[in-house]
Amino acid sequence: MKKILVANRGEIAIRVMRTAEKMGIKTVAVFSEIDRNAPHVRFADEAVCIGPAPSNESYLRGDKIIDVAKKLNVDAIHPGYGFLSENADFAELCEANNITFIGPKSKAIKVMGSKLAAKETVKAYNIPMVPGTDEAITDISKAKEIASGIGFPILIKASAGGGGKGMRIVENEAEFESQMNRAISEAKSAFGDGSVFIEKYVTSPRHIEIQVMADTHGNYLHFFERECSIQRRHQKVVEEAPSAVLTAQLRDEMGQAAINVARSCDYVGAGTVEFLLDDDHNFYFLEMNTRLQVEHPVSELIAGVDLVELQIKVARGEALQIKQKDLKINGHALELRVYAEDPMNDFLPSVGHLDVYRLPEGKNIRVDNGFEEGMDIPIQYDPMLAKLITYGETRDEAIQLMLKAIDNYHVEGVQTTLPFGRFVCEHEAFRSGNFDTHFVKKYYSADLLEEQHKIEAEIAAKIALKRYLEEQKLLRFSN
């Protein structure tokens, strides 16, 4: 494997290219017209424009990407995450053109891409499941009957869904019909598929996921868990590894369950198995993401591995050299997704110009970044600028370093989730480890963040005044 095309943009494109460079593999970037001057374009050995700004005319055009790959004699394509990373047709298109797709086979992508098919597939391995329907449903009266049997509150979820779309929590029978109609409508709009299913709503869930890796020689590994319960709109913002609440026994059980999920669909490459953990520490299979996750760096730091390097080696047909017994958790890692969003205004996108953009530096601070000072943030794509990752020997150390890194991350021109990251890291519920996926709903508000800003501004003003008075005193003495 001498040349890889990275079918993505921003921080993940650069992340993949860095590992390829380390391995002596040449890289090809693809870019839309609006990304012509983006850092990932300059980082690659070669770069080709594949269309206008909208992703359905550029980054989602598998045919154009394959054409570029063939013209430049590319051996493999790494899809990153998002865009074509979980597109089974694109994986098949790569195979048909003798180009290695750095990811699982199309069969695994298809099976795990449907939540219902995934549930059916893993049944034989006795993976714990949340009580609910085994098949898609659109008949509202029948669905209401099933929901009453399971017991409220229940969750309606789009079968083809993700990112919180087509998902509705129903507290009682009276609101069931309206919520069901909304879920079906949203699922049709977002995924072209209105089928939904119903499951018991776990009232205080934690979102725990297990990083897995499998090769073509029958070897399966897990790299422990990630805690991903700090979310807004069902999407993660703060992740950490390991979780503050898993015992060694529970970690082993969940790790083995994740490996069994991977076995159930003959999985190859890097994947993530997501679970819900309830109040009593019972865990339930949620879904499998058949790609590299945004939050993979925290697993890399605690396990001491380069997951992209392992992906590439597996794609080359190599056997995994690591054994499960050799893997140990070392230290603690924390990640904040730095989105161009306004946490004071319901986390709405904050597009604009990066007038100031300076990254924090230092030991055990890692920034997977895709932007530079002076750039515009395009409205056409996900608004994530970078991932800020800190590592410490203990959880407290990682949190303190994150607070320091946030202070030294300077952005002007757009609003970001950096202040929200500070709010989380300073909150007692987070610091104690006693939180769930309702953290934002329970504890966060724009008013509280505003209050925090005022207090910080007052402290800063007092420190500045004290320094000024001390300097004046020194000047009087010297005169």
Residues annotated as part of the active site: 291
Amino acid letter, 104: P
* Structure-token pair, residue 462: 């007092």
d(CA 373, CA 218): 46
**Distance, CA of 360 to CA of 320 (rounded, Å):** 35
| Spatial distance between the Cα atoms of 248 and 156, rounded to a whole number of angstroms | 33
CB 221 within 8 A of CB 149: no
The candidate with the shortest Cα–Cα distance to 332, out of 392, 389, 400, is: 392
Contact present, 77 and 4 (Cβ < 8 Å)? yes
Q: CA–CA separation, 188 vs 192, rounded Å?
A: 4
Q: Which long-range contacts (CB under 8 A, 24 or more apart) does 108-112 make?
A: 108/265, 108/266, 108/267, 108/268, 108/271, 108/290, 109/290, 111/265, 112/265, 112/271, 112/287, 112/288, 112/289, 112/290
> Whole-angstrom Cα distance, residue 26 to residue 157?
42
What angle (nearest 5°) sits at the alpha carbon of residue 182, between those of residues 176 and 186?
145
At 417, which amino acid appears? T
Find how far residue 258's CA is from the centre of its chain.
18
